Amino acid sequence: MKQQYKPGWFCKSIFHILLWGVLLLHLLAIERVPAQTAMVSVVPDADCFVRSLAAASNYGEGGGLSVSGSTAVNGSGIQNGLFDTLMRFSMSNAVFSLDSALGEKDWIITGAELFLTEMAAPDNAIFNRGVGAFEVRWIASDEWVEGTGKPNMPTSDGLTWQDLQTLVNSNLDVSLGLFTNSGSNGRISFGLTLQERFVADIRQGGEVGLYLTARSDEVGFTFNSRNFGNTNAQPLLMITAATNPHPQIDAIELAGTNVLVSFGTVSNWTYRLQGANLLPQPGSAPWSWSDLFISPSQPYATNLQFVDGLTNGGRFYRLAVSP
């Protein structure tokens, strides 16, 4: 199950009130209303691998990309350094297609899947081999140049290993998951976590950047780039979206010494009433939301009430949904 924010929640309404929690709910069965969905696929408009043993070299126009750890070796047993990969996707056409299918900005993202074609034994000796873990991150900065370098003819006109120190920012970038390559030739897919900043970047319709880096020493994952001759084997980002169920909190009321939070649901969505106790300060980390109550997906619409005991603390609310 994919979700919209952390890992995947849609924030429709935020409310602030003093509360602490006990639960009460009332169910009202209504009709079944299936959600309309749409899928769009996006190929990179730029991709590039960088290499620690050639820190000033660019490899942006090669037919392959790679992620490699410190102990992975090539087919001759030679270690060629650490490898990282960056990819950038333009979302303008994807957002236009989703607007056309589901209503202008009236949809939420329910899935994001990265498709890559692995080369287990690449012909070029520059690439390491091996099965292991790697991480996919969304990165905030899209300010990098693909360049024209190739494995056998590197250049200096684009992204290089030494540029990563100014491009990658742990305070802004977010992890979309840890994955393992297959170690065999063929298409492989990775379901990305729908982190809030990643989802917001997609919806803006601009450039969306991904950074792939090793999380185990033995990984030597090589895969086709956007320059690979067979278009069916190039990288692909698949985005799935559904019509917006318009979640909202209907009322927040005092009920004796308690607080009553009411909201309605529609069928076939999981609802999460979430709370945050503190406002984030400018430049600080994103909000820290926690689930107060989860209503699983039902084949009918529902009216819910959440009753909280009042204390001397403050809390903000939001209502989140996932299919």
Q: For residues 238 and 250, state if they share a domain.
A: no
Q: For residues 174 and 237, state if they share a domain.
A: yes
Contact status, residue 2 vs residue 312, Cβ threshold 8 Å: no
How confident is the model over 40-58, as pLDDT tens digits? 999 999 999 999 999 999 9
Instruction: Work out the mean pLDDT of the chain and round it to a whole number.
Output: 85
Q: For residues 126 and 275, state if they share a domain.
A: no
Higher pLDDT, 175 or 13: 175
How confident is the model over 150-177, as pLDDT tens digits? 999 999 999 999 999 999 999 999 999 9
Q: For residues 237 and 274, state if they share a domain.
A: no
Rg (C-alpha) for the chain, rounded Å, is 23
Last residue in a domain, options 243, 270, 286 = 243
Domain hosting residue 201, numbered range: 38-243
How confident is the model over 61-70, as pLDDT tens digits? 999 999 999 9
What confidence tier does 35 reach under pLDDT thresholds 50, 70, 90? low
Q: For residues 173 and 317, state if they share a domain.
A: no
Q: For residues 196 and 301, state if they share a domain.
A: no
117 occurs within a structural domain: yes
Question: Within 13 Å of residue 53, how many CA atoms lie on the same side as its CB?
Answer: 13
3-class DSSP state for residue 2?
coil
Report the alpha-carbon distance of residue 287 to residue 14 in Å, rounded: 12
Structure token digits, residue 85? 């990969």
Q: For residues 144 and 168, state if they share a domain.
A: yes
What average pLDDT does this structure show over 221-234? Answer: 96
Q: How far is CA 274 from the centre of its chain?
A: 20
Contact status, residue 190 vs residue 92, Cβ threshold 8 Å: no
Q: For residues 190 and 260, state if they share a domain.
A: no
Percent of the chain's residues with pLDDT above 70: 85
What average pLDDT does this structure show over 102-115? Answer: 94
What confidence tier does 82 reach under pLDDT thresholds 50, 70, 90? very high
Q: Which residues pair with 68 in a beta bridge?
A: 83, 220
3 occurs within a structural domain: no
Domains in the chain, number? 2
Q: For residues 278 and 138, state if they share a domain.
A: no
Last residue in a domain, options 193, 220, 243 = 243
